[in-house]
Structure 1
Amino acid sequence: MQTRFSVAIVDDHALVGLAIGALIAGSDGLDLVGAVPSVAALRQADLRPDLVVLDLMLRDGTTPGENVQRLRDRGSEVLVLTSGEDRFLVREALRTSALGVVRKSAPPDAILTSIERAARGELIMDAEWAMTADSDPDLQSAPLTDRERDVLALYASGIGAKQVATRLGISENTVNDHLKRIKREYQRLGRPAPTKVELYRRGVEDGFLPVPGRA
């Protein structure tokens, strides 16, 4: 039996909400539970969807960082939707725990695919994401050892600490010690990575892992 995921849209442009809502309604695995103009309105409606498709630039004075954090605190994953008009806001969104950033100008089937993948908890990264990350002057790489890079690459690929230990011929405790230090380094740099998804993103940002889809 196929798992269904609930999705809400936060966008203060009604036409965008209608268009994205129509895409979601056409998906077999998604249920649209609401379209509201702000995160505050979502909270007032007491909606707690699996995924929120969030407009990057809302007109209520909120920032991408605070909006993503509020939604994550309520247990929802977040996919950011943007026109790409403000690179600084895009960079801010990419530093959050959102699963990715998708352009509103992308083909409808590409937008829907990104929403479906994000609803399953998958990280969404493309050439636009990579270009923004590459051009960010404030993105300071973590000083990881070769062994820590190996641990990060294997662990972020989706396997557990025990399997990483087997692959590298070290103990599981050693793997966990490496992971703790890796997380401390990213926290120190202001780029926290408490989850496996965020560790994967940091590894791609720093060039330790390949960007999906990039030759």
Structure 2
Amino acid sequence: MNDRDTTTTRSGTVRVGMVDDHQSPVWGIERILERQEDLALVGSAPTVAELLAAHSDLDVVILDLRLNDGTTPRENVNTLSEHGIVTVVYTSGEHPDLLRSAARAGTLGVVLKSASEEEILSAIRAAASGEEVLTTEWAAAIDGDPNLDAVDLSPQLQRVLTLYASGGTSASVGHELGVAPDTVNEYLKRIRQKYVDAGRPTRTKLDLFKRAVEDGWLPMPHRGRGD
């Protein structure tokens, strides 16, 4: 954890947090913000949970897309939103599926790690004001997903999908949820039908895994870090 003395933050200053499990991007943002009178980086952590444990009164969180704790962008944006904190995704831009996952949860936008200082500062200030951070990458991520809101799964169906797509069986998923295997099979039929209706067929278990990743229910498999 990298903390600053939060007691010295000026009234009216936007309190910024950062979640990244690599330290160099944090140092870069710290350097950019230290000269700004209206913005202050008050803390950073490798996970959302650790950041919130130390700082629950943040205004904006700069969020890396791929974290080693196995969380999805959707989960992280939702968690921060529940605490009244808006997010800006900070990424190399190589994973549009992850960007769409964050979009589904309501992040205000994305800024590339290669962006200029002016673009980064503008994005943070816009998000702090509740405005969307409009960039070409953000528009491409959203426009490239015509089914962004087409599949709406209840919490129970989400749980069935993630457990089954992660390698579970109808019996093991049923045991985990306290329902019969036949009930799990009915849930799976319902999930598949929802994707069929959205024009995204899921005939096999691999298809279900792909849909779970695409929609942010499961993290993208790691193939070496690019973010």
- Would you call these one fold, judging by a TM-score over 0.5? yes
Q: TM-score, normalised by structure 1?
A: 0.61
Q: Does 1:72 align with 2:71?
A: no
The amino acid that maps onto 1:61 is G
The amino acid that maps onto 1:139 is L
Identity rate, percent? 43
CA displacement at 1:139 relative to structure 2: 3.5
Per-residue CA distance 1:109-146 (angstroms, 9 max, x = gap): 211111122122211112222222222142368xxxxx
Specify the alignment match of 1:53 in structure 2.
Answer: 62
Aligned to 1:95, the other structure's residue is in SS state helix
- Contact between 2:100 and 2:148, CA under 8 Å: does it hold in 1? no
User: How many matched pairs?
Assistant: 142
- Contact between 2:90 and 2:110, CA under 8 Å: does it hold in 1? yes
Per-residue CA distance 1:11-45 (angstroms, 9 max, x = gap): 11100001011112221211221011111111221
Aligned to 1:6, the other structure's residue is in SS state strand
Q: Does 1:28 align with 2:37?
A: yes
- Contact between 2:56 and 2:83, CA under 8 Å: does it hold in 1? no
The amino acid that maps onto 1:132 is A
Aligned to 1:18, the other structure's residue is in SS state helix
RMSD between aligned residues: 2.1
Aligned to 1:117, the other structure's residue is in SS state helix
Per-residue CA distance 1:167-206 (angstroms, 9 max, x = gap): xxxxxxxxxxxxxxxxxxxxxx9xxxxxxxxxxxxxxxxx
Alignment of 1:159-178 (within 5 A): none
Q: Which has the higher contact order (CA 8 A, sep 6+)?
A: 2
Q: Does 1:104 align with 2:121?
A: no
> What stretches of structure 2 of length at least 5 have no aligned partner?
1-10, 151-197, 199-227
Q: TM-score, normalised by structure 2?
A: 0.58
Distance in 2 separating the partners of 1:136 and 1:21? 33
Change (3 A) 1:6 1:140: closer
**Larger-gyration structure (1/2):** 2
Distance in 1 separating the partners of 2:140 and 2:53? 37
Specify the alignment match of 2:53 in structure 1.
Answer: 44
Specify the alignment match of 2:72 in structure 1.
Answer: 63
Distance in 1 separating the partners of 2:55 and 2:38? 22
